C-alpha cells in the first residue's frame, strides 16, 4: 500500500505543476491590462474644450451709460405729477418734497422738475459673447454709420439700430461724429444683430459694442443717446434696447444735453 500512496502523490504533483497551480507569494505580480482601443482625438478635444467654450459663451461685462448727476425733467403740456412719477419709477410725494411744491396739481408746462438728486444708473442688458461678431473698423462716416471689415474680409457699411444722429450740415453733426470716433477708438469693435439684417440701403443694421482694456463693453448706441447726441428712431421689430434708449433720452432731455439744449438766443 505504501508504494501505491507514493505513486498517487507523485502523479498529483505532476498534474498540479502542469496546470500552473495557485500563485503564491513568490509568483510575479500581474500588470494591469491596458486598453488597446484607438483613441478618438476629436472626442478628447471636445471634452477638453467644453469648459473653455462654456466660459466663452457667457454674458459680457457691460459698463453703465453716462448719466447726469442730477435728473431733471421738463414738464410737457398735459403732464400730471402722478404720470411723471410713474414714468420715472418714483412717487408724487417724493417729487413734491424734492421740488417744494405747495400742491401736487401745481405744475406748469415748460418748468423743470427735479426727479432725483443723485445720478441714475442705466446698465444695458448684457448679450452673450457668442452673440457678438468681432470686426475691424475701417472708417467713421458720421455719428451713427461706420464701415467695417468682417472676419472673412468682406467690407460692409453699418447703420446703428434705433438711433439717429445729426446729419451733415445740421447742428452737432461734428460733435456726434467726433464722439462716435472717440468711443470706437477705446478698444476692440463688436457688432450685435437684432431681427432685421439690412436696411433699404443694404447697410447692415447692428448694435455696436467696444471692449475696453479692462474687459468691460461700452454700448455705443446707448451712450450716444445718453449724451444727447442721438435721438430715438426705432423701427419694429428691432426694439431690443428701446426701453433703455427711452430712459437715457429722458435723462438727456431733462439735463438739456446735446440736441436737447435750449437754442441760443440771437
pLDDT tens per residue, range 47-90? 333 333 445 688 999 999 998 877 788 899 999 999 998 888 78
Q: What is the pLDDT of residue 56?
A: 65
- Active-site residue, from 133, 147, 156, 203: 203
Q: Is 25 a catalytic residue?
A: no
Q: What is the pLDDT of residue 54?
A: 47
Q: What is the pLDDT of residue 67?
A: 87
- In 3D space, the residue among 192, 244, 204, 187 whose CA is nearest the CA of residue 59 turns out to be 192
The contacts of residue 190 (CB under 8 Å, 6+ apart) are: 132, 133, 134, 135, 208, 209, 210, 211, 217
Residue 195's φ and ψ, nearest 5 degrees, are -105, -30
The pTM (predicted TM-score) of the whole model is 0.67
pLDDT at 114 over 60: yes
Residue 88's φ and ψ, nearest 5 degrees, are -100, 10
CA–CA gap between residue 138 and residue 188 (Å, rounded): 12
Sketch out the chain's domains with CATH numbers.
76-109 (no CATH), 129-260 (2.40.50.90)
Q: What is the pLDDT of residue 118?
A: 73
Q: Is 203 a catalytic residue?
A: yes
Are 183 and 220 a contacting pair, CB within 8 Å? yes
Give the chain as a DSSP string: -HHHHHHHHHHHHHHHHHH-----TTSPPPPPPPP-SPP-HHHHHHHHHHHHHHHHSSBPPBPPBP--SSEEEEPPTT--HHHHHHHHT--HHHHHHHHT-S-TT---TT-EEEEESSPP-B-PPPPBGGGEEEEEEEEE-SSSEEEEE-TTS-EEEEEETTEE-PPTTSTTHHHHHHHHHHHHTTSEEEEE--S--B-TT-PEEEEEEEE-TTS-EEEHHHHHHHTTS-EE--BTTB-TTHHHHHHHHHHHHHTT-GGGSPPPP-
pLDDT for 130-178, tens place per residue? 999 999 999 999 999 999 999 999 999 999 999 999 999 999 999 999 9
221 preceded by cis ω (within 30°)? no
- Active-site residue, from 159, 206, 211, 247: 159
Q: Is 159 a catalytic residue?
A: yes
- Active-site residue, from 23, 167, 197, 202: 167
pLDDT for 186-226, tens place per residue? 999 999 999 999 999 999 999 999 999 999 999 999 999 99
C-alpha cell at 208: 455696436
- In 3D space, the residue among 122, 85, 126, 112 whose CA is nearest the CA of residue 247 turns out to be 122
CA–CA gap between residue 111 and residue 73 (Å, rounded): 8
Q: How many CA atoms lie within 13 A of 44 on its CB side?
A: 4
Amino acid at each position: 500500500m505504501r508504494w501505491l500512496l507514493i505513486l498517487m502523490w507523485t502523479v498529483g504533483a505532476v498534474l498540479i505543476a502542469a496546470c500552473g497551480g495557485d500563485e503564491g507569494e513568490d509568483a510575479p505580480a500581474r500588470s494591469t491590462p491596458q486598453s488597446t482601443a484607438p483613441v478618438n482625438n476629436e472626442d478628447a478635444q471636445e471634452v477638453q474644450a467644453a469648459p473653455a467654450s462654456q466660459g466663452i459663451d457667457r454674458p459680457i461685462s457691460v459698463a453703465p451709460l453716462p448719466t447726469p448727476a442730477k435728473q431733471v425733467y421738463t414738464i410737457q403740456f398735459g403732464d400730471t405729477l402722478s404720470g411723471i412719477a410713474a414714468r420715472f419709477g418714483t412717487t408724487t410725494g417724493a417729487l413734491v418734497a424734492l421740488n417744494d411744491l405747495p400742491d401736487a396739481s401745481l405744475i406748469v408746462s415748460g418748468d423743470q422738475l427735479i426727479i432725483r438728486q443723485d445720478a441714475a444708473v442705466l446698465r444695458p442688458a448684457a448679450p452673450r459673447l457668442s452673440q457678438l461678431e468681432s470686426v475691424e473698423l475701417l472708417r467713421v462716416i458720421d455719428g451713427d454709420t461706420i464701415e467695417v471689415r468682417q472676419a472673412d474680409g468682406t467690407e460692409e457699411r453699418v447703420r446703428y439700430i434705433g438711433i439717429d444722429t445729426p446729419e451733415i450740415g445740421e447742428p452737432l453733426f461734428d460733435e456726434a461724429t467726433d464722439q462716435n470716433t472717440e468711443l470706437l477708438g477705446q478698444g476692440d469693435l463688436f457688432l450685435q444683430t437684432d431681427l432685421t439684417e439690412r436696411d433699404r440701403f443694404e447697410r447692415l443694421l447692428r448694435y455696436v459694442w467696444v471692449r475696453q482694456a479692462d474687459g468691460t463693453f461700452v454700448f455705443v448706441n446707448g451712450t450716444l443717446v445718453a449724451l444727447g447726441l442721438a435721438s430715438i428712431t426705432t423701427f419694429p421689430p428691432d426694439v431690443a434696447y428701446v426701453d433703455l434708449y427711452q430712459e437715457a433720452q429722458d435723462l438727456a432731455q431733462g439735463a438739456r444735453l446735446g440736441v436737447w439744449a435750449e437754442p441760443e438766443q440771437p
